[in-house]
């Protein structure tokens, strides 16, 4: 039997945490043939291969090999390469996750080939149209046939944009599935002890958004604000390759008290986050993970596509001028918002699409990778 062929399209690091739970949920289903399509937007070991291995993902069934370039290069070349694959060997469903340039490219290619297209993590909006990811989210959502959302705010965003509600299904947040599946490995990792840091007496920093790191006149005040905080609280900063490149180009360096590291593996990074006092970030995924772990988060952006992290009180928005006050602000404790079972709902939705007998989401047989128990 051929099985229902599903492309899981991954491009950059944050996509891996979103396709992994789908892979776990689908790989042993007799009715389904999931295929990992890696576009190549992130391709070095630290940003791709090592994390794929940790998360129990297979080597990509198809590697399009399109390295990150300008937005025009990444989007254009990925459309061309994915379109060629779709023409030669069309799947029954293409699943695009997240909001990076190659995700948009894959969505456009699938749309134009008439391949049914699902967007996982649909409906996220920060309403800041200057953020490249916001443009990508909008366009992917409006290209998709099926929109899997994380929460009611995302559903409302899509309805307001005129998307037919029958195409929207709230499945929850798959990145929390990944976090929960990997909790054992995260707890077993030495985390701060391996770096000589005292648990709950340090902060974790990640920065890579173009609006923060691309220009010296925005990056320098942020580094100065981190230097102030680091006088009282040591900071550890796994530096994203984009940020490292910009720092090298602009001659800026990390200040004393801010310990730079290369990008970390998923488990090593979350082992640091889980035992930190605060996370300072401009990442989408890290806001969500810190909030789920009950760790205070400060987001260095004017707006967030995850407003529930702010309304629930775990996350605060800040800039260089307000960072110190936000770091020291008290946070309410709160129960976790997501149940870590989103992949089961996605698998059930795909099974319905495949025309197989409909099963309740909670009864789909799903296994975690060996390392994730």
- For the question of residue 337 being annotated catalytic, the response is no
Residues near ligand UDP (CB under 6 A), total: 17
Q: Closer to ligand UDP by CB, 261 or 277: give it.
A: 261
Site stretch for ligand UDP (CB under 6 A), options 28-36, 70-78, 285-293, 320-328: 285-293
Residue 283 touches ligand UDP, criterion: CB under 6 A = yes
Q: Closer to ligand UDP by CB, 234 or 263: give it.
A: 263
Say how many C-beta atoms besides its own lie within 10 A of residue 141's C-beta: 25
Q: How far is the CB of 150 from ligand UDP (least distance, A)?
A: 13
Closest among 154, 110, 152 to 6, alpha carbons compared: 110
Q: Closer to ligand UDP by CB, 244 or 354: give it.
A: 244
Closest among 323, 312, 262, 265 to 287, alpha carbons compared: 312
Summary count for the chain: helices (H), strands (E)? 16, 13
Residue 82 touches ligand UDP, criterion: CB under 6 A = no
Residue 234 touches ligand UDP, criterion: CB under 6 A = no
One-character DSSP codes across 311-356: HTTSEEE--TTTHHHHHHS-------S--S-HHHHHHHHHHHHTTS
Residue 206 touches ligand UDP, criterion: CB under 6 A = yes
Q: How far apart are CA 26 and CA 35, in angstroms?
A: 10
Q: How far is the CB of 179 from ligand UDP (least distance, A)?
A: 8
Q: How far is the CB of 42 from ligand UDP (least distance, A)?
A: 8
Q: How far is the CB of 80 from ligand UDP (least distance, A)?
A: 24
Write each residue from 2 to 21 as x if it is in contact with ligand UDP (CB under 6 A), else as -, in one continuous string: -----------xx--x----
Q: Phi and psi (nearest 5°) for 58?
A: -75, 170
Q: Phi and psi (nearest 5°) for 252?
A: -85, 150
- What is the widest separation between alpha-carbon atoms in the chain? 63
Q: Is residue 247 a contact partner of residue 208, using CB atoms and an 8 Å limit?
A: no
H or E element at residue 283: none
Which residue in the set 258, 270, 317, 372 belongs to the binding site for ligand UDP (CB under 6 A)? 270
Q: Closer to ligand UDP by CB, 23 or 266: give it.
A: 266
Which residue in the set 131, 264, 318, 361 belongs to the binding site for ligand UDP (CB under 6 A)? 264
Q: Is residue 203 a contact partner of residue 229, using CB atoms and an 8 Å limit?
A: yes
Calculate the alpha carbon distances from 101 to 47, 105, 243, 289, 299 in Å. 16, 6, 18, 22, 22
Sheet holding 4-10, edge to edge: 62-63, 32-38, 4-10, 93-97, 117-122, 146-149, 168-170
Query: How far, rounded to the nearest angstrom, does the alpha carbon of residue 103 sit from its chain's CA centroid?
Result: 12
Write each residue from 48 to 77 as x if it is in contact with ligand UDP (CB under 6 A), else as -, in one continuous string: ---x--------------------------
Which residue in the set 34, 269, 320, 368 belongs to the binding site for ligand UDP (CB under 6 A)? 269
Catalytic residue among 101, 119, 208, 338: 208
Residue 266 touches ligand UDP, criterion: CB under 6 A = yes
Q: Closer to ligand UDP by CB, 167 or 337: give it.
A: 337
3-state secondary structure at position 286: helix
Site stretch for ligand UDP (CB under 6 A), options 22-30, 223-231, 282-290, 314-322: 282-290
Kindly list the catalytic residues.
208
Binding site for ligand UDP (CB under 6 A): 13-14, 17, 51, 206, 208, 238, 263-264, 266, 269-270, 283-286, 289
């Amino acid at each position: 039997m051929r099985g229902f062929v599903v492309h899981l399209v991954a491009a950059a690091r944050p996509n891996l945490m979103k396709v992994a739970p789908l892979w776990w949920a689908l790989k042993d289903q007799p009715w389904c043939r999931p295929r990992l399509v890696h576009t190549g937007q992130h391709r070095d070991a630290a940003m791709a291969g090592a994390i794929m291995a940790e998360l129990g993902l297979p080597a990509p069934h198809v590697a399009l090999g399109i390295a990150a370039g300008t937005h025009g290069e990444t989007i254009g070349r990925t459309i061309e390469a994915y379109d060629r694959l779709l023409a030669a060997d069309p799947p029954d469903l293409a699943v695009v996750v997240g909001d990076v340039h190659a995700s948009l490219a894959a969505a456009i290619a699938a749309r134009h080939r008439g391949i049914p297209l699902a967007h996982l993590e649909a409906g996220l909006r920060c309403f800041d149209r200057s953020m490249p990811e916001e443009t990508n989210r909008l366009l992917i959502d409006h290209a998709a046939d099926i929109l899997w959302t994380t929460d009611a705010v995302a559903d409302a965003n899509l309805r307001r944009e005129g998307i037919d509600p029958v195409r929207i299904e709230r499945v929850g947040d798959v990145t929390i599935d990944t976090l929960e599946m990997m909790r054992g490995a995260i707890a077993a990792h030495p985390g701060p002890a391996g770096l000589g840091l005292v648990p709950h007496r340090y902060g974790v920093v990640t920065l890579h958004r173009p609006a923060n790191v691309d220009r010296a006149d925005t990056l320098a005040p942020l580094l100065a604000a981190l230097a102030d905080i680091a006088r009282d609280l040591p900071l550890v900063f796994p530096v994203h390759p984009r940020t490292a490149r910009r720092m090298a180009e602009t001659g800026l360096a990390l200040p004393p008290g801010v310990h730079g590291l290369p990008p970390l593996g998923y488990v090593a990074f979350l082992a640091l986050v889980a035992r930190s006092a605060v996370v300072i970030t401009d990442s989408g995924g890290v806001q969500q993970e810190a909030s789920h772990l009950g760790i205070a988060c400060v987001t260095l952006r004017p707006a967030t596509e995850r407003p529930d992290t702010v309304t629930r009180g775990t996350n605060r928005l800040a800039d260089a001028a307000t960072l110190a006050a936000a770091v020291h602000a008290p946070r309410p404790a709160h129960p976790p918002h997501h149940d870590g079972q989103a992949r089961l709902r996605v698998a059930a939705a795909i099974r319905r699409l495949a025309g197989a007998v409909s099963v309740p989401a909670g009864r789909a047989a799903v296994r975690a990778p060996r390392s994730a128990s």
